[in-house]
Amino acid sequence: MIDFVTNEEIIQEARRRCAQGAWDYLVGGAESETTLRRNRQAFDKIAFRPRILVDVSHVDTSTTFLGQKLRIPAIFAPIGSLQVFDPAGAVASTQAATEFGIMHCVSSATLPALEETAAATPTPKMFQLYVQGDDQWTQDIVKRVVDSGYVALALTVDVAHYSRRERPMLSRYQPPTQRTRTTTQRSHLAALTWDTMDRIKSLAGLPFMLKGVQTAEDAEIACDHGVDYIWVSNHGGRQIDHGLGSLDTLPEIAQAVRGRAKIVLDGGIQRGSDIIKAIALGADVVALGRLQGWGIAAGGVAGAVRMLEILEDELTCNMGLSGLTSIDQITSKYVCKTDPVAWSHEMSSWVNMPTPRII
């Protein structure tokens, strides 16, 4: 039975169940982990401006994304090597997303095969692509994605070089996908251009997401190329170090997009209050990475569903206390800049976390 009352408990259970290497892979970032910490700090620097005397006896946290109703404005981000946290791998995340009522963006760097994950539940899914082969390789995998019924394709473009992730390096751990990735496969990732993106977008013929946008300049170019969904992401602080937090870059990107595309944001999202902040500053939905991983590691499908239930409760509470009754009411008028009150890191939202549990 899953009886977690906070996501802090879920993280503690995930830590108990994970071997050191797998844990380091999940929670760590690149090099000094500055980008990782800034992801969290960006949320810590935003405060609410709550309104009072509003009837908030009913709060609706749902929204619509890719034509599907989401119970909360969140999706599961693609996570590579999910099978190290639960034997079912991506199927566990997909089943949890379906049971709760959100969508899953399935990673091309996890097991099982994309066809098996697609068939696991009736809920529409997105597919995330790492380009690891030539044009024929790309044509083949995109055809498999289309034939399997995925409703959108997300191209990840922030992995031209695989970063130095020192936490797992120190424990001599490599995730399964990195153990098998060849120099030739990495060279295809490094060679991506806007022309490559155009070819893949045309080939798929699906709603197209560009994942890894971090500047207004690239958001502008993406919109000019007809990208449907701008995915604001720095890979959870796991790729370039010393970057800005995702939420810090969101306002300039939203201004550049000017409504021409939908906006997804990931990086540093730990609580329901973070979802409100992201939407207030321009996102349409957020994508959950580490939270998803912690839920799966702590209790498989049930653990991930419970994590989402807690997130929903936090979202409902903070919307009500802000005087908000629906997602479309959230605007920048409800937030303002402030100073963080604590040192920000990948678990700093949970102030009762015993230190031995998080290392």
Catalytically active residues, by annotation: 235
The rounded radius of gyration (Å) of the Cα atoms in the chain is 19
Rounded Cα–Cα distance for residues 19 and 294 (Å): 13
Q: DSSP letter string over 13-72?
A: HHHHHS-HHHHHHHH--STT-HHHHHHHHHHHTEEE----S---SS-B--EEETTEEESS
Residues linked to residue 153 through DSSP beta bridges, in sequence order: 127, 208
- 200: tokens are 């893949």
Rounded Cα–Cα distance for residues 8 and 352 (Å): 8
What value, to the nearest 5°, has the Cα angle with vertex 230 and ends 109 and 160? Answer: 45
User: What is the maximal distance between C-alpha atoms in the chain?
Assistant: 61
Rounded Cα–Cα distance for residues 326 and 60 (Å): 5
- For residue 336, give the H/E element and its range: strand 335-337
CB–CB of 82/104 below 8 Å?
A: no
- 71: tokens are 């119970």
CB–CB of 205/151 below 8 Å?
A: no
Residues linked to residue 152 through DSSP beta bridges, in sequence order: 126
Rounded Cα–Cα distance for residues 93 and 77 (Å): 10
Rounded Cα–Cα distance for residues 49 and 199 (Å): 45
Rounded Cα–Cα distance for residues 10 and 302 (Å): 11
